[in-house]
A and B are shown apart, each in its own frame.
Chain A
Amino acid sequence: MTSASADSAPVVTSGLTKRFRRQIAVDRIDLEVPDGAIYGFLGPNGSGKTTTIRMLLGLISPTAGEISLLGVPMPAAARNALRRVGSLVEGPAFHPYLSGRANLARLDAADRYSDPRTSQSRIESALDRVGLLAAAQKRYRAYSLGMRQRLAIAASLLMPRELLVLDEPTNGLDPQGTREVRHLITDLAGDGATVLVSSHLLAEVEQICSHVGVMYEGRLVAQGPLSELRAGTVQTVRVDTDRPEDAGRVLAELGLSDIQSSAGYVTANLGDVAVEKIMPNLVNADVPVLGFAVLQPSLEDVFVSLTGEGFDVSG
């Protein structure tokens, strides 16, 4: 009786649109985050990721379209859905003159579903989980950006959550902190939570995500399991040689495209050319080959192939 929606996916949107005055920030997107997925929500700054996340959390209302969050419609059933969702939206925000611990207590007090008797222990374990216990008594204003980010993640962990919506969770963290957050996210997913993590750092998402959705200028240009998206893009070969010009000429004759010579190596798009034909041809042309590799397309390559543009801020 709880599942009015036939779809069991934790996040489903259809035709979700947000228009601010004249500008369309989010344009008819059909998001689907499968149960148990770590879903990388990608896109350059200004592509509509945060606006989408704000709509998912009921902070702003859609101009058109529908949202189902954990099986219930948003924002109509916001109360029922949101208590099962932990979130981090557009950076941390806390009362500067309160300590980290007091800030968490404040949020816990605002939650009518949380048990005051367990408040203290839940706060301590959330702080512990993000490595902030030692700084819990410090005022928030004295926190570094990385500590603030950790506190925001701790806030989303105060209650058991079925879905975590994390907007740029590693923003401002040092490499060590970034790695810890990645581990944390995989841990949480291991516990059965679904995670929607937005990022403009492709390499970071690539390491942990099972699924990705790519936003570009307000549109969801691609969505699916990471492996499927990768399969759809061109493969690149790289030849290490001390005569890159000659190597490039051979590759061009074979029919490879987008040949780029650099000092010591040359890269090219494989296209339809069979990989095994490349080496013999290079050898026949007397090009000394020091190394040869077929490169897995990076998420960035996937992105470029989808949008035809670099991963920059779009106006």
Chain B
Amino acid sequence: MSAAELFVVSSRPRARVSTRFLRSELKIIFGRRRNMAGLGVLAVLPVILAISIRLSSPSQNGGPDLIIAIAGNGLFVAFGALALELPLFLPLAVSAISGDSVAGEANLGTLRYLLAVPAGRSRLLVIKYTAIVIFALAATFLVALVGTIMGLSLFGGGDMTTLSGTQIPLADSVWRLVLSSLYLAAQFSALGAIGLFISTLTEQPIGATIAIVLVDVLMFILDSISQLAWLHPWLLTHWWTAFADLLREPMATQSIQRGLITAAVYAGVFWLAAWARFSTKDISS
């Protein structure tokens, strides 16, 4: 069958790239109560963090304190919240979404109807993964945004002290927060590719989610065993805390670059693994 013939036969496919399917996917993810509740939990943490720092802040006691120095700029709440949610909360949220992506549809039986439409197997994986990436971005920026709002309203927006001890103005610190969020969202997107792959292996979304969290935790544990130092640079999670380098003056980018390359490799390998698995899989659910 020639390409020309395909073109004639399928005279009706839309020439332009349509975002309809992606929008439908996002509506399902963000419209689901369970996921809204999950995002709510992510957003609560910076609130708790900001209020507890505020209450323990020595401004009432009068004495100068380190907290005053670092908390003179409210954006620190956003960075702190990202650091606190980095080990578990944000990866867990991404694991839940990515674990559900294919296995959830298989579990409901909707997968067979999507494929019979036909949605196209490769196209479905592209849409599913794009939605995971968008969710990772949304979750990370939600934490950063709530942290920023809480921080600025409780601590004001003065100069921020970098980890190198210098002071940077508000606009610069906002820019660094955006970069940090993008960096972390990229890391979580790589985890989401692992999740997408695991999700193609099973019809149990909860099982898939647990497996992804286990992979995430396992990488953290391996990263903490000093005898395995040779392995550390190959672990996705090893580079996650590197976002703190963006708070140095000037920004240290070496680890950030390594981290982005590692994330890209993980994302590419596991997306292809998911594709290899899914494109030939018997859908018997």
Contact = CB atoms under 8 A, between A and B. Distances in A.
A112 B9 contact: no
Nearest to A111: B117
A93 B108 contact: yes
Interface in B101-117: 108-110, 112-117
Given A54-B284, A61-B282, A80-B9, A106 B28 contact: yes
A96 B32 CA distance: 11
B254 interface: no
Interface in A109-127: 109-113, 116
B116 A112 contact: no
Contacts of B119: 110-112
Contacts, number: 100
Contacts of A61: 280, 282
A82 B116 CA distance: 6
Task: Give chain B's interface residue range (CB within 8 Å of chain A).
Answer: 35 or more
Contacts of B280: 61
A143 interface: no
Interface stretch (A83-91, A196-204, A241-249, A287-295): A83-91
Would you call the interface of chain B mostly helix, strand, loop, or mixed? helix
A59 B116 CA distance: 8
Contacts of B6: 80
Interface stretch (B18-26, B38-46, B222-230, B236-244): B18-26
A60 B24 contact: no
Interface string B271-285: 000000000101110
B24 A112 contact: no
Nearest to B280: A61
B108 A112 contact: no
29 contacts: A2-B9, A54-B112, A57-B112, A57-B115, A58-B116, A59-B112, A59-B115, A59-B116, A60-B282, A78-B118, A80-B6, A82-B116, A83-B118, A85-B116, A89-B113, A91-B109, A92-B109, A95-B28, A95-B108, A107-B113, A107-B117, A109-B20, A110-B24, A112-B13, A112-B14, A112-B119, A113-B10, A113-B13, A116-B18
Given A54-B283, A107-B113, A110-B117, 15 more contacts: A60-B283, A77-B1, A89-B112, A90-B112, A91-B109, A93-B108, A94-B108, A94-B110, A98-B28, A112-B18, A112-B21, A112-B119, A113-B10, A113-B13, A116-B20
Interface of B: 1, 5-6, 8-10, 12-14, 18, 20-21, 23-24, 28, 32-33, 108-110, 112-120, 123-124, 280, 282-284
Interface of A: 1-2, 4, 54, 57-61, 77-80, 82-83, 85, 87, 89-98, 105-107, 109-113, 116, 152, 155
